[in-house]
Each structure stands twice: as C-alpha cells, then as structure tokens.
C-alpha cells in the first residue's frame, strides 16, 4: 500500500480486515470451546472500536463549525471514546467471570483450529500495522496502531496456550491466558477513560509544561507580565490556549497585534498549540494576581 493512499482509505481497509479477524476468531473460539480465542476476539473488538473511532474522527473533523457548535464536531471523538471505555470494562468482567468458572471446571479445547485462527490473525494484523505506518501521526492513528500491536501479542498468547493444551492436555492454560488478555484490555480501557475524562474536564494535555509556556510568553520583547492563563484540550489532537498579556502603556495597536502574531507562532512551534486567544492589556490591565476562573466575570456590572 503506497504512502500516497488517503488516511481514510487505509483506516477503512484496516477496519474491514479487523472485522474479518473478529468474525473468524469468535466463530472458531465457539467451535473449539476456547475462552482464550474468544478473549482475543474481545480484544480485537477494541481494535475495531479504535479503528472506527479514528476513521469517524477524521470524517467529523471535516464538518465545519456552525452557530451552535463554534468549535466544530471534534469532541464527538471524545464522547465515543468514553463509551468505548465503558464497553471494554464490561468485556473484561465477562472474560474474568468465565475464566474463573473454567478454572474450577476445566473445559476441553480443540487446540488445532485455535492455532490456525490465531496465526491467521497474527498475519493479518501485521499487514494492518504496516498499512497504518503511512497513515499519519495523529493520536488516533497511533492509538489504533498500538491496539493492533497489542492484539498481535494477545494472539501469540493464544497460540502458546493452544500448543500447551495440544502437547500436554493441560486445559488450565486456556483460562489463564484469557485472564492475561483481560488484564491487557483493562489496562487499555483505564488509559482510554483517563484520557477522555481529562479532555471532558478541559484539563491541560499530559506532558505540557505550563511553566515553560509562561516563560515563553515573558521572553517576548515588550511583555511586562502575563496572567489569566488557561490551556485545555479541544480533542485528542487540538490544544486551545488563552491568556492576558500586559504591555507598556502607550503601546501602539499595530505593535500589539505584531506581538500577538509572534506569540501565536512561538506557541504553535514549541508546544503545538493551534488555537490561541491573547488579550493585550496596557492602560487598563486586570488587578495583579487576578486569575479569573470559569463562571467569574473580568468586568464590573452596574449596581
């Protein structure tokens, strides 16, 4: 698959192939009575969600903003991700309960079909990873790629469990591997819910140093102070930023605008902040230390 193929086409191909693996493993898992393979199918379901979410987010990002949603529709991705996290936890609970049941009452597993299905899944997922390598560097694409790599690891675990059963007849390997796959799904679900929760609370993006952001602004010539600084995530990719900068009284309006453009460029280049709102204050700055939180007003009301 060439590097010139659109990202959406790569994601649709990956989604279709992943759905094929899901159907294959779910069918063979039920036929062979393998909880490990069914658990891997549950993990593949997370890949389907991740790929579908990445594709859906790309499609939604093309919708223009309107009078009701002035930031556009990018946060649809976050809402769907939160729903996916809840579904993943339900899958983990199901796997854990069934694994516990099989630990007390082992069930015979037909290891041969399980090995074939898992090996096919490994091969197809490897192709998907190679296809996604040229699909861009967005967080959605990276998350989808990590999901598929995790599924390759889980499928290898399924093969190991099936080989143990085939050679020794030790059926406990199947539920034990299933518990490991459930832990892998749970780990991904916790991270997904944590990240989406942070975005919904308009928290600062992980890894962004607010101290460095403040220092970058203060380094600009003509800035006396900075306050009322806020930074938050619009979605998994876009960062929004706002602050008040104080310049010497008498600064020309044109000079203030040039300064704003300079700061916007520096914030974008150094911190990947794409949506910036800077309020320039000179003759009527806010009171020192006056940090306005949401819901508060930065202007007086008549009595």
Please report the pLDDT score of residue 244 as a whole number: 92
**For residue 274, is pLDDT > 70?**
yes
What is the distance between the alpha carbons of residues 256 and 110, in angstroms, rounded to a whole number? 74
Please report the pLDDT score of residue 263 as a whole number: 92
- Model confidence at 2, pLDDT cuts 50, 70, 90, reads very low
**For residue 111, is pLDDT > 70?**
yes
List the structure tokens of 202: 């308009």
Please give the model's pTM, rounded to 2 decimal places. 0.68
Secondary structure letter of residue 301 according to DSSP: -
What number is the average pLDDT over the span 285-301? 56
List the structure tokens of 251: 């600064």
**For residue 172, is pLDDT > 70?**
yes
Candidates 3.40.50.620, 3.40.50.300, 3.90.1300.10, 3.30.70.1350; correct CATH number of 210-281?
3.30.70.1350
Question: Could you tell me which residues come within 8 angstroms of residue 35 by beta carbon, excluding any fewer than 6 positions away?
Answer: 29, 95, 98, 99, 102, 107, 174, 175, 178
Answer yes or no: are the C-beta atoms of 238 and 271 closer than 8 Å. no
pLDDT by residue (tens digit) across 205-253? Answer: 888 888 899 999 998 888 888 988 999 887 777 888 999 999 888 888 8
pLDDT by residue (tens digit) across 21-62? Answer: 899 989 998 888 888 888 888 878 877 877 787 777 767 767
C-alpha dihedral over 273, 277, 283, 285, to 10 degrees?
-80
Say what percent of the chain tops pLDDT 70.
Answer: 85
What is the distance between the alpha carbons of residues 285 and 299, in angstroms, rounded to a whole number? 11
Please report the pLDDT score of residue 261 as a whole number: 92
**For residue 127, is pLDDT > 60?**
yes
Secondary structure letter of residue 172 according to DSSP: T
> What residue segments make up the domains of the chain, in order of their start?
7-200, 210-281
Does 164 or 184 have the greater pLDDT score? 164
What is the distance between the alpha carbons of residues 246 and 111, in angstroms, rounded to a whole number? 71
Antiparallel, parallel or unpaired: β 239-246 and 225-233: antiparallel
**For residue 302, is pLDDT > 60?**
no
β-partners of residue 231 are 241
* CA atoms in the 13 A half-sphere facing the CB of 128: 33
Question: Could you tell me which residues come within 8 angstroms of residue 76 by beta carbon, excluding any fewer than 6 positions away?
Answer: 56, 57, 60
- Model confidence at 4, pLDDT cuts 50, 70, 90, reads very low
What is the distance between the alpha carbons of residues 254 and 262, in angstroms, rounded to a whole number? 12
Could you give the residue ranges of the DSSP H alpha helices within 62-172?
A: 76-104, 111-132, 139-168
CA distances from 52 to 16, 45, 81, 121 (A): 10, 10, 10, 18
Say what percent of the chain tops pLDDT 90.
Answer: 10
Lowest mean pLDDT among 2-11, 27-36, 109-118: 2-11
Please report the pLDDT score of residue 294 as a whole number: 54
CATH class of 7-200: mainly alpha
What number is the average pLDDT over the span 146-150? 75
What number is the average pLDDT over the span 75-83? 75
Domains 7-200 and 210-281 share a fold: no
> Chain-wide mean pLDDT for the chain?
80
Please report the pLDDT score of residue 3 as a whole number: 44
What is the distance between the alpha carbons of residues 201 and 204, in angstroms, rounded to a whole number? 9
What is the distance between the alpha carbons of residues 277 and 280, in angstroms, rounded to a whole number? 10
């Amino acid at each position: 698959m060439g590097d010139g193929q659109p990202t959406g086409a790569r994601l649709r191909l990956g989604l279709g192939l992943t759905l094929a693996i899901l159907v294959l493993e779910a069918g063979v898992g039920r036929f062979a009575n393998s909880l490990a393979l069914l658990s891997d199918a549950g993990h593949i379901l997370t890949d389907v969600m991740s790929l579908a979410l990445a594709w859906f987010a790309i499609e939604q990002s093309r919708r223009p903003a309107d009078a009701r949603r002035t930031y556009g529709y990018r946060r649809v991705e976050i809402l769907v991700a939160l729903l996916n996290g809840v579904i993943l936890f339900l899958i983990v609970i199901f796997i854990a309960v069934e694994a516990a049941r099989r630990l007390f009452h082992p069930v015979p597993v037909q290891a041969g079909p399980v090995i074939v299905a898992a090996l096919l899944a490994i091969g197809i997922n490897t192709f998907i990873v190679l296809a996604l390598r040229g699909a861009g560097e967005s967080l959605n694409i990276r998350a989808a790629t990590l999901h598929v790599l995790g599924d390759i690891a889980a499928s290898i675990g399924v093969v190991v469990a099936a080989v143990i059963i085939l050679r020794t007849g030790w059926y406990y390997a199947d539920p034990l591997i299933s518990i490991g796959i459930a832990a892998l799904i749970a780990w991904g679900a916790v991270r997904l819910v944590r990240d989406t929760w942070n975005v919904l609370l308009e928290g600062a993006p992980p890894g962004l140093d607010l101290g460095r952001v403040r220092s970058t602004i203060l380094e600009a010539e003509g800035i006396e102070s900075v306050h009322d600084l806020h930074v938050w995530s619009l979605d998994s990719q876009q960062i929004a930023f706002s602050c008040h900068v104080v310049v010497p009284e008498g600064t020309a309006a044109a000079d203030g605008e040039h300064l704003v453009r300079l700061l916007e460029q520096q914030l974008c280049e150094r911190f990947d902040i794409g949506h910036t709102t800077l309020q320039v204050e000179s003759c009527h700055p806010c009171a020192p230390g006056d940090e306005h939180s949401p819901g508060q007003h930065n202007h007086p009301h008549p009595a």
